[in-house]
């Protein structure tokens, strides 16, 4: 079950829209320059120019990550991937190539964090899935039978919740000795932390 995100005030919604628009405009500026560079160094060959471009992209990535804008971060990664395929190794854009590798990794990390935020924000803290995730984080390798007892529900519910969480990459089930237990993935742990923070602010 997912929680509604329509409770934002008009002012918050307007701010979010303005931030999204600003991100898109910023992306278009640095991405357009990168698209024009074909590998001969005409646009991004001189190191001072590349350094200014890197600084601009770095600031953009920070903003996109803080806003958890997964769509923009995904778009940025695609732009960088396409550019990397056009550049010539060791040529006039060698400095740019090196920067693209680093910036792409930062963008991937930002995208993963944004997706974690979205997962946490759309998972109802009162749902069985959320309660199961929090319990597994508190008690690694807890079995489904123990979860049923702890949460006071039935086995079919825990089976459905566990499957949903596993499909989202939040939990995994593995054998330890004779029993199979649940573990939270790093993404699951981060999501549980955000769920706990949301609960604390209620």
Q: How far apart are CA 95 and CA 89, in angstroms?
A: 10
Check the CA dihedral 183-186-191-192 and report its sign: positive
Is 6's pLDDT higher than 60? no
Mean pLDDT of the chain: 86
pLDDT tens sequence across 148-170 = 999 999 999 999 999 999 988 89
What are φ and ψ of residue 25, in 5° steps? -65, -40
pLDDT band at 81 (very low <50, low <70, confident <90, very high): very high
Residue 53: name the closest of 69, 75, 66, 36 by CA: 36
Q: Find the mean pLDDT for residues 166-192.
A: 89
Q: What are residue 161's DSSP bridge partners?
A: none
Q: Find the mean pLDDT for residues 94-103.
A: 92
Helix (H, G, I), strand (E, B) or coil at 84: helix
- Residue partners of 79: CB distance under 8 A and separation at least 6: 27, 31, 34, 35
Q: How far apart are CA 17 and CA 124, in angstroms?
A: 24
pTM above 0.75, yes or no: no
Q: Find the mean pLDDT for residues 25-39.
A: 91
Q: How far apart are CA 38 and CA 182, in angstroms?
A: 49
What are φ and ψ of residue 78, in 5° steps? -65, -40
10 Å CB burial of residue 112 (0-12, 13-18, 19+) is middle
pLDDT band at 202 (very low <50, low <70, confident <90, very high): low
Q: Find the mean pLDDT for residues 114-127.
A: 83
Q: Find the mean pLDDT for residues 71-91.
A: 90
Q: How far apart are CA 189 and CA 130, in angstroms?
A: 12
Q: What is the pLDDT of residue 147?
A: 98
Q: Find the mean pLDDT for residues 4-23.
A: 56
């Amino acid at each position: 079950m997912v929680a509604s995100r329509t409770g934002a005030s008009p002012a918050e919604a307007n701010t979010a829209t303005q931030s999204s628009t600003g991100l898109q405009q910023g992306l278009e500026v640095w991405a357009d320059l990168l698209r024009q560079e074909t590998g001969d160094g005409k646009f991004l060959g001189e190191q001072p120019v590349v350094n200014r471009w890197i600084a601009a992209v770095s600031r953009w990535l920070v903003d996109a990550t803080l806003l958890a804008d997964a769509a923009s971060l995904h778009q940025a990664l695609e732009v960088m991937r396409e550019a990397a395929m056009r550049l010539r190794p060791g040529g006039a854009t060698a400095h740019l190539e090196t920067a693209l590798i680093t910036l792409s990794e930062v963008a991937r990390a930002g995208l993963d964090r944004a997706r974690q935020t979205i997962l946490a924000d759309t998972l109802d803290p009162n749902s069985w899935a959320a309660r199961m995730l929090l319990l597994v984080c508190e008690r690694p390798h807890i079995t489904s039978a123990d979860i049923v007892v702890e949460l006071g529900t039935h086995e079919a519910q825990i089976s459905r919740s566990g499957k949903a969480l596993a499909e989202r990459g939040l939990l995994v089930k593995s054998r330890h000795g004779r029993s199979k237990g649940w573990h939270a993935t790093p993404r699951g742990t981060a999501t549980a932390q955000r769920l706990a923070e949301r609960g604390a602010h209620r």
